[in-house]
Chains A and B, each alone.
Chain A
Amino acid sequence: EIVMTQSPATLSVSPGERATLSCRASQSVSDKLAWYQQKPGQAPRLLIYGASTRATGIPVRFSGSGFATEFTLNISSLQSEDFVVYHCQQYNQRPPTFGQGTKLEIK
């Protein structure tokens, strides 16, 4: 199976600044990459699919990029509600696999 590795495990950024989260695949997944946001005690919410397409209702401050094995989620102008956990997921090959998550915390 494809192993997804997210870095860093915890990212400290100040409100209003920009956060850059990374996700690496153990082999190419083309653009079959999704990002999810998970707030404490809640289910994940889809942010990005196709590596760069925002899901319905997702603010424009969330953007995704990358291809093959290297992917990035950028969150500009961080707001208080953005300081939660983010997961990446590949769906190029069965089984779909997730990274271990990045926790975004307030600096």
Chain B
Amino acid sequence: EAELVESGGGLAQPGGSLRLSCAASGFTFSIYALSWVRQAPGKGLEWVAVISGNGETTYYADYVKGRFTISRDNSKNTVYVQLNSLRAEDTAVYYCAIGSSVGWFDPWGQGTLVTVSS
């Protein structure tokens, strides 16, 4: 059974950086696209970014383009997202999920909370 476990969340200052990780198990990692989706406190879901199975193709939501970078290490079954130039509005639980930007997401990890505050 596929499992995703996120880590790396925490408190960051405005303008600061964090790197989130998502460790995967239970499936052939390298053939699946992985996405990051976030949810601000009490709000809906927002897709953030996606990376193809081989890592060659990435897409980003407009509001994170140029600030966030998604990557993956297929030898470690892990996907990452580097969050730079953080803003208060980036405060959210960040989930990783199996799925491309033109598909559904299943399953999801348990999420990691990022709080941007001074």
**One of B9-17, B40-48, B83-91 at the interface:** B40-48
Chain A contacts of B101 at CB under 8 A? 91, 94-96
Contact indicator A96/B102 (Cβ below 8 Å)? yes
Chain A contacts of B104 at CB under 8 A? 34, 46, 49, 89, 91
Do A46 and B102 contact each other (CB < 8 Å), given the known contacts A95-B61, A101-B44?
Answer: no
Among B43, B47, B95, B103, the residue within 8 A (CB) of A43 is B95
Q: Which residue of B lies closest to A99 (CB)?
A: B44
A20 CB-CB contact with B under 8 Å? no
Shortest C-beta distance, B32 to chain A (Å), equals 14
Chain B contacts of A101 at CB under 8 A? 44-45
Count of chain A residues near B, Cβ 8 A: 23
| Chain B residues engaging chain A, CB cutoff 8 angstroms | 43-47, 59, 61-62, 95, 101-111
Give the interface SS of chain B, mostly helix, strand, loop or mixed.
loop
Chain A contacts of B45 at CB under 8 A? 36, 44, 87, 89, 98, 101
Contact indicator A92/B102 (Cβ below 8 Å)? yes
A100 CB-CB contact with B under 8 Å? yes
Total inter-chain residue pairs, C-beta < 8 Å: 58
Among B44, B62, B102, the residue within 8 A (CB) of A98 is B44
Q: List 11 A-B contacts (CB under 8 A).
A: A43-B95, A43-B107, A43-B109, A43-B110, A46-B104, A55-B106, A89-B45, A95-B59, A96-B103, A98-B46, A101-B44
Do A94 and B102 contact each other (CB < 8 Å), given the known contacts A42-B110, A43-B110, A87-B45?
Answer: yes
Shortest C-beta distance, B20 to chain A (Å), equals 14
3 A-B pairs closest in CB distance: A43-B108, A46-B106, A34-B104
Contact indicator B108/A44 (Cβ below 8 Å)? yes
